[in-house]
Structure 1
Amino acid sequence: MPPTDSMFLLAESREHPMHVGGLQLFEPPADAGPNFVREVLERYRSSDNVNPLFRKRPAEPVGAVGSTWWTHDESIDFDYHVRHSALPEPRRIRELLQATSLWHSSLLDRHRPLWECHVVEGLQDGRFAVYTKVHHSLIDGVSAARLMQRSLSTDPDADDCLPPWLQPARKRDKADDDAAATGGFAPLALAKSLVGAAGGVAGDLAGLLPASARIAMEAIGSNDLTLPRAPRTMFNVPIGGARRFAAQSWEIERIRRVAKSSATTMNDVVLAMVSGALRDYLIENNALPDDPMTAMVPVSLSLRSGGGADGGRDGGNQVGVIIVNLATDRENGSTRLEEIAYSSRQAKRILGDLTPTQILAFSALQMLPLAFTPVPGFVKYTHPPFNVIVSNVPGPSEELYFNGARMDGSYPVSIALDGQAINITLTSRAGYLDVGIIGCRRTVPHLQRLLLHLESALSELETSWG
């Protein structure tokens, strides 16, 4: 098992489930019969030809070596992994989100492949929902979104769509094949890959020290760069295991108009929405800090100036992170947007001269304090590196269908951590931005009010920028 997989298993506890999820809404086709959802369920359980990713589980004994190597189940208990649910009256989206909150709070069974799916019918408007969760040791959020997209079609008449776990596996490299052939543990292949990787990045990492010194000097010489030290807030505390989930969609065109009028980016406008929502929420709870809050924001390595061979070598799927000033100390939404856009530009400019490997290493340094959050007292007595994580996962630009059912919403369900009691993740979808907010149920009361504040923040920006 690669260390990157082990990390999420070792970090997991009852208070910190380490799975990522997604909640999708579907509108049945006009000619759908009363058994359409049951037919979807049958399609979800239609084959034993399960993608190897969805056969993986920690090796036995789970408590001793289960974070060391993978094993694979030959057969899948579909009655366990794919569940059929119905909503209670009054069968609103609210009841669906309550159910999703409970499902996302529970740990995955490590004695089985680390995934679950809930097919939910009974929404009063006739739609049905699919909630899926997969352990982060198996897959990251971006890869999960892409795998989910592969299970859908742009053709509303297509009837051959299969769920992610029945998608054929794509070509794996030789180390993966060796691992599968030896029950998931291939020490020689793993050692070889690690040595090769180390040789490939040694030169880049050697250049990180002088680059870090340059960045430090720029940070000391001006106040332009937002550093990984934020004010303490009610979100930056130890958390419990129960979760609350809230979700809503916004028209992308509304955000695009504000970005164009203000000469900023759509990501800047989204961060300004988050900033306004957090500010209003904390004012309601008499908890707004005097100093501005900050956000950790993943960014594509394509921000490298010049691109070139290095960018192509490392591919486009890796990301670094920047820390952005949310300007929550500013009362005016327009002013917040300007400061957010400036902070984001400065952070990207600083990273622009680094190679992709150096960006990854520098990003890891900024997130290093999160590694110490399990230490008793660390979260309570230190400043957080940032106040909230805001991730934007690119999604499809066309309407997608599952065997005739149109996808009408795709909401990411992410991970909350000690010191990071809420996590905001967004994904685009055929003219809409779908927002999912996960939070600690004990620490963040009335989480759903953040949705109202997001709308208020966008409306204020529209008023300012027309």
Structure 2
Amino acid sequence: MHLDPRMGAFDAVMFGVEGDPLLRSVIILVAMLDRCPDRTVIDDRVDHMTRRIPRLRQRAVGNPLSPAPPRWETDPNFDPTFHLRWRRGDDSCSAVDAVLAYAERMSEADFDHARPLWEVAILTDLADDAAAFVLKIHHSITDGVGGMAMAADMFDLQREPASSPPSPDVPPPAPLGMVGRIGQDIGFETRAARDTVVAAAGFVLAIARDGLTHPVRTVTSAATTTTAMIRMLEPQSTPRSELMTKRSLSSSFSILDVPLDELRRAATVADTTINVCFVAAVAGAVRRHHQRLGHPLPEFRVNMPISLRTDADAEGGNQWVPARFIVPTEPDDLRSRIRRLDPILHKARTDPALHLSTIVYQLLTLLPRQVTTSVAGSLMKGVDVAATNVPGPPIPVFTGGAEVTALVPFAPKGGAAVNVALMSYAGRAYLGINCDPAAVIDPELLTDCIREGLAEVVALH
């Protein structure tokens, strides 16, 4: 599969914002296993995955003197044992507690940027003979949906491992020298400027053509798009919550789950979608959390990714755009809250500015990295809650002869106080809750409030 040697515009922004460590963008996927997987099988599957998906053997190489985004090049020192680590877990507590404690520390550590930006830890000897598979991957490599497509290489549909197909040859390292990098950077900058101008001009021409046949509609549409674009780029550096204002590099993980059928039924009863029910549960939780701490909060700011990924897209790269919007916590009545949320989420998914995100991020890649980090930070640090919804396998899967008993994502905070990620797997909806303990002083209380919010949703009748 051919992959562009340059990071895409959005990938580059996700990579570059780490000039501010508070904006680190790391995805964690936790797979709880019913027993220790076969080491030979796991080693073979990881090797096959990195051959089939060359990006997993590539490092990001940039030039601090050029605005061109980093290029991906095969790591001449690639060592699979550095990226795949077998560790004996803590059996003095529950398997889930031991895995979450390990995953928290794993998420907080920065990557070695001289190597490919991913790693896997296999935790064995947990309580009740359980084990776990913990994947950590940088968001510049892929998004949540793409990451699940990558991880498919690790899974079987039955306990007995299937034979791996023949592995592709390892791509040969082709590092560029300084002269080659400078030449490539100059070529990229020329193409990027041209492509950005062409994209912007195409957008303007489309408006002009439409204006000849539908002038009133075009003026209205252009005004709406302009307003949406201003709203997209408007700095929002101050959270709405007065409680959740501090930020740190630490994480506190927790897991909740509910039957997926009950969530679907609740969505049907409320004549809405699972995603709206999910956000309604989080809104109710934020309301309870602030009330119990004596700081009522009528509304808060959410950042939610809107996926643009199609079946034709490769696993690598990001195929989504961020939507920021205000979520009301009132009224207290769940049905009324859902009715208020439905049009808000629909508008967020259909915002005309989303279609211009590519142009915006292309422009950001042409700016000095310090400016890009500053602009991105002004858009991200004012977010109270990030929320995402990723589909997982609908049936049980296995890896190395072990059954995956739970599959839980932990998405990056990205400047928010908390990120709540929902993934469906084998008939259940798992929520991975990633709290910043500097912002959420009592993560257990917030988790309890989200549990109550989910229970309220599934109790709809």
Interval containing the TM-score (normalised by the shorter chain): 0.7 to 0.9
**Match of residue 7 from structure 1:** 13
Aligned equivalents of 1:414 and 1:251: distance in 2?
Answer: 21
From 292, 307, 312, give the equivalent of 2:299.
Answer: 292
The secondary structure found in structure 1 opposite 2:128 is coil
Q: Check the 8 A contact 2:25/2:139 in 1, yes or no.
A: yes
The secondary structure found in structure 2 opposite 1:120 is strand
Asked if residue 213 in structure 1 is aligned to residue 220 in structure 2, the reply is: no
Aligned equivalents of 1:23 and 1:251: distance in 2?
Answer: 19
Aligned equivalents of 1:454 and 1:399: distance in 2?
Answer: 26
Within a 5 Å distance, the mapping from 1:57-72 to structure 2 comes to 57-59=59-61, 68-72=70-74
The secondary structure found in structure 1 opposite 2:304 is strand
Asked if residue 452 in structure 1 is aligned to residue 431 in structure 2, the reply is: no
Q: Check the 8 A contact 2:42/2:400 in 1, yes or no.
A: no
Q: Flag the 1:169–1:338 CA change in 2: closer, same or farther, 3 A.
A: farther
Q: Flag the 1:296–1:19 CA change in 2: closer, same or farther, 3 A.
A: closer
Q: Structure 1: 5+ residue runs without aligned partners?
A: 29-34, 171-176, 220-226, 303-310, 366-370
The secondary structure found in structure 1 opposite 2:29 is strand
Q: Check the 8 A contact 2:48/2:167 in 1, yes or no.
A: no
**Match of residue 273 from structure 1:** 281
Q: Check the 8 A contact 1:234/1:443 in 2, yes or no.
A: no
Within a 5 Å distance, the mapping from 1:36-75 to structure 2 comes to 36-40=37-41, 42-43=43-44, 50=51, 51-59=53-61, 68-75=70-77
Aligned equivalents of 1:132 and 1:406: distance in 2?
Answer: 16
Equivalent position amino acid for 1:255 in 2? L
Equivalent position amino acid for 1:254 in 2? E
Equivalent position amino acid for 1:398 in 2? I
Asked if residue 411 in structure 1 is aligned to residue 412 in structure 2, the reply is: no
Quote the offset at 1:255 in angstroms: 0.7
**Match of residue 393 from structure 1:** 390
From 79, 83, 86, give the equivalent of 2:85.
Answer: 83
**Match of residue 174 from structure 1:** none
State the structure with bigger RCO (CA 8 A, min sep 6), 1 or 2: 2
Q: Flag the 1:411–1:139 CA change in 2: closer, same or farther, 3 A.
A: same
Within a 5 Å distance, the mapping from 1:313-352 to structure 2 comes to 318-348=319-349, 351=352
Q: Flag the 1:405–1:49 CA change in 2: closer, same or farther, 3 A.
A: same
Superposed CA RMSD in Å reads 4.5
The secondary structure found in structure 1 opposite 2:299 is coil
Aligned equivalents of 1:312 and 1:84: distance in 2?
Answer: 33
Q: Structure 2: 5+ residue runs without aligned partners?
A: 1-5, 208-217, 364-369
Deviations 1:266-285 (A, max 9, x none): 11101111111112222233
Q: Check the 8 A contact 1:152/1:161 in 2, yes or no.
A: no
Aligned equivalents of 2:290 and 2:60: distance in 1?
Answer: 41
Q: TM-score, normalised by structure 1?
A: 0.75
Deviations 1:12-71 (A, max 9, x none): 14444332221111224xxxxxx7454455446767974431222244899999974444
Q: Check the 8 A contact 2:239/2:381 in 1, yes or no.
A: yes
Quote the offset at 1:348 in angstroms: 4.3
Provide the identity percentage.
Answer: 19
Give the number of equivalent residue pairs.
424
Asked if residue 433 in structure 1 is aligned to residue 439 in structure 2, the reply is: no
Asked if residue 402 in structure 1 is aligned to residue 399 in structure 2, the reply is: yes
Q: Check the 8 A contact 2:74/2:173 in 1, yes or no.
A: no
Quote the offset at 1:129 in angstroms: 0.7
Q: Flag the 1:65–1:267 CA change in 2: closer, same or farther, 3 A.
A: closer
